[in-house]
């Protein structure tokens, strides 16, 4: 039998995938594009005009975006609140009193926000941007800089993009190194965040009729929707719903080696999806002690997460099993 014909025949069988998995990473000017299996997946944006680096958009294997386009692009039916929530990012609301989360440069011209002390995160070096047959990596270093120019800490980041299906998987590894005494304040806005596409938002009376909001957030303990999930601790959290006619979801896994595991979740029905170990007093409504954490010069703080974009909901995607594998180092 002709080899090419045999491969085509096998590819037509249900559940069979031809082994063409590959991650392509392309360096541009202040951006790095990632393609998986020949399709655009996401782009890492940074540079002097970017208040904090971010990935935009994140796509399912089908190409459907699972993160909000605003403020990078305008899409009919999207909410335009919280301009600083750019697709996917890593930051915190209070670092030595400076806000690295709500930190768009445009906010400085807003009289209502003029007194807010803001910090910004600038990439200083991209030491690796390399693709491969099964995975690709971006390794970069950043400075967390106050508005007065002082660099209070540096960040080493590795983002690993995995090829293949049926899911899209990214592993994140952040190490923060204090250059001065650094205190992370007990505030709710942090730390690793995603703003999901409209279809994954919870239904709400004041949202546009289209696209239809179908989102349901679920955590590892089975809590559902913001009412049950916000401020709770959990090993993972998932948003699932219908996006452009497809049943899709996106989950964040907390690594067991992370500080204060399992993390608290700052998850909102309007589409914010973030974990935050520092906002303990905020999340427990004063029932627990202050969650502030201080690093001395030279001390480090490391966070690792896995993001899984999957077809179906959390149950059909077997997120509990996927998390067990992640927890066991697979």
21 has a pLDDT exceeding 70: no
Token representation of residue 140 = 């970069």
Q: Sign of dihedral through CA atoms 142, 143, 146, 152?
A: positive
SS3 at position 26: strand
Alpha-carbon distances, residue 324 vs 163, 236, 256 (angstroms): 20, 11, 11
1 has a pLDDT exceeding 50: no
As beta bridge partners, residue 54 has 45, 89
pLDDT in tens, 57-99: 999 999 999 999 999 999 999 999 999 999 999 999 999 999 9
| Structural domain includes residue 58 | yes
CA–CA dist 319, 132 (Å, integer): 26
Token representation of residue 252 = 């964040």
Q: Which domain holds residue 155?
A: 26-327
Q: What CATH number does the domain containing 196 carry?
A: 2.70.98
Query: Mean pLDDT across the stretch 318-327?
Result: 98
Sequence-ordered list of residues with C-beta below 8 angstroms from that of 89, at least 6 positions apart, any chain: 52, 53, 54, 55, 192, 193
287: pLDDT confidence band, cut at 50, 70 and 90? Answer: confident
Alpha-carbon distances, residue 187 vs 149, 190, 204 (angstroms): 23, 8, 26
Task: Look at residue 14 in the predicted model and tell me its pLDDT.
Answer: 33
155 has a pLDDT exceeding 90: yes
| Residue ranges of E strands in 83-150 | 88-92, 119-130, 135-146
15: pLDDT confidence band, cut at 50, 70 and 90? Answer: very low
Task: Look at residue 16 in the predicted model and tell me its pLDDT.
Answer: 31
Task: Indicate the average pLDDT of the chain.
Answer: 93
Task: Look at residue 18 in the predicted model and tell me its pLDDT.
Answer: 39
pLDDT in tens, 32-47: 999 999 999 999 999 9
| Structural domain includes residue 5 | no
| Structural domain includes residue 10 | no
CA–CA dist 325, 263 (Å, integer): 18
CA–CA dist 233, 222 (Å, integer): 12
Query: Mean pLDDT across the stretch 235-251?
Result: 98
Q: What percent of the chain has pLDDT over 70?
A: 94
13 has a pLDDT exceeding 70: no
Token representation of residue 245 = 């006619």
Task: Look at residue 31 in the predicted model and tell me its pLDDT.
Answer: 98
| Structural domain includes residue 123 | yes
Specify the number of domains making up the chain: 1
Which of 121, 153, 127 lies closest to 140 in space, CA to CA?
Answer: 127
19: pLDDT confidence band, cut at 50, 70 and 90? Answer: very low
315: pLDDT confidence band, cut at 50, 70 and 90? Answer: very high
Task: Look at residue 110 in the predicted model and tell me its pLDDT.
Answer: 79
Alpha-carbon distances, residue 250 vs 9, 90, 258 (angstroms): 32, 17, 20
7 has a pLDDT exceeding 60: no
pTM, full prediction: 0.92
Task: Look at residue 20 in the predicted model and tell me its pLDDT.
Answer: 55
Task: Look at residue 165 in the predicted model and tell me its pLDDT.
Answer: 86
Query: Mean pLDDT across the stretch 192-202?
Result: 98
CB 140 within 8 A of CB 154: no
| Structural domain includes residue 268 | yes
Which of 35, 67, 33 lies closest to 197 in space, CA to CA?
Answer: 67
Task: Look at residue 108 in the predicted model and tell me its pLDDT.
Answer: 84
Token representation of residue 251 = 């989950």
Alpha-carbon distances, residue 138 vs 92, 134, 194, 328 (angstroms): 22, 14, 19, 24
| Structural domain includes residue 16 | no
């Amino acid at each position: 039998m002709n080899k090419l014909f045999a491969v085509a025949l096998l590819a037509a069988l249900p559940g069979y995938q031809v082994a063409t998995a590959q991650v392509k990473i392309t360096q541009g000017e202040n951006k790095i594009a990632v393609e998986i299996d020949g399709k655009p997946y996401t782009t890492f944006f940074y540079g002097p005009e970017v208040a904090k680096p971010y990935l935009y958009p994140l796509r399912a294997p089908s190409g459907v975006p699972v993160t909000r386009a605003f403020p990078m692009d305008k899409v009919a039916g999207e909410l335009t609140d919280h301009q600083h929530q750019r697709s996917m990012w890593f930051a915190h609301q209070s670092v030595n009193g400076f806000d690295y989360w709500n930190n768009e440069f445009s906010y400085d011209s807003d009289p209502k926000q003029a007194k807010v002390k803001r910090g910004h995160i600038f990439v200083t070096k991209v030491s690796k941007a390399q693709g491969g047959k099964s995975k690709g990596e971006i390794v970069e270093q950043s400075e967390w800089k106050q508005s007065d120019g002082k660099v209070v800490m540096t960040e080493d980041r590795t983002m690993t993009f995995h090829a293949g299906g049926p899911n899209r998987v990214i592993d994140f590894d952040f190490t923060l190194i204090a250059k001065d005494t650094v205190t992370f304040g007990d505030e709710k806005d942090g730390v690793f965040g995603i703003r999901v596409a409209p279809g994954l938002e919870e239904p709400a009376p004041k949202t546009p009729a289209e696209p239809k909001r179908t989102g349901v957030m679920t955590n590892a303990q089975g809590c559902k929707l913001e009412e049950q999930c916000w401020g709770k601790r959990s090993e993972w959290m998932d948003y699932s719903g219908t996006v452009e006619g497809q049943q899709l979801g996106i989950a964040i896994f907390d690594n067991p080696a992370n500080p204060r595991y399992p993390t608290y979740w700052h998850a909102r029905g309007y589409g914010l999806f973030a974990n935050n170990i520092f906002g303990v007093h905020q999340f427990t409504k004063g029932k627990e002690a202050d969650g502030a954490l201080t690093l001395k010069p030279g001390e480090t703080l490391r966070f690792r997460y896995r993001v899984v974009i999957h077809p179906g909901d959390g149950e059909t995607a077997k997120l509990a099993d996927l998390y067990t594998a992640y927890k066991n180092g697979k």
